[in-house]
Amino acid sequence: MTPGLVVAVVVLALLLAGWAVAAGGLGHAPPRTLLQALLGLQLVLLLQLAVVVVRLAQGERPVETGPFFGYLVLSLLMLPGGLALSVEERNRNGTLVLAVACLTVAVVEWRLDVTWR
């Protein structure tokens, strides 16, 4: 995978997870700025999808095809899924759900990189 993109996603996801844990720990509902940052992360993940499509079109192939595409799909579902689970909980617990989603994005991104090489 593109190293810069992988590092960016992992670092951003971990930062947002830390932010969400802190905000949730302080008893806050998901702050609007956090939600906007999550949208930003999702856009980076969509950009990554575009990069993958281009590289596949150029004839590159992941080492572990099945798992790679599994993780690729998961990477795009995590934040929307987390958001869906958090909307009914407009309190600290909704914020913690978003932390779980961000942590999962970081792990999935790492797996995505491993299964590509």
Partner 1 sequence: MALSPRPRALGARGLGTGLGRPLTAVYAVFALSASARAGYQLATRFDEAPVAYLLSALAALVYVVATVALLRDLRRLALAAVLVELVGVLVVGTLSYADAGDPESTVWSGYGAGYGYVPLVLPVLGLLWIRRSSRPA
Smallest gap from Cβ 75 to partner 1, in A, equals 12
Smallest gap from Cβ 97 to partner 1, in A, equals 5
Residue that the structure tokens 């192939």 belong to: 61
User: In terms of CB distance, is 2 or 49 closer to partner 1?
Assistant: 49
User: In terms of CB distance, is 12 or 78 closer to partner 1?
Assistant: 78
Interacting residues toward partner 1 by CB under 8 A: 66-67, 70, 74, 77-78, 81-82, 85-86, 88-89, 93-94, 96-97, 99-101, 104
Stated length of the chain? 117
Smallest gap from Cβ 4 to partner 1, in A, equals 26
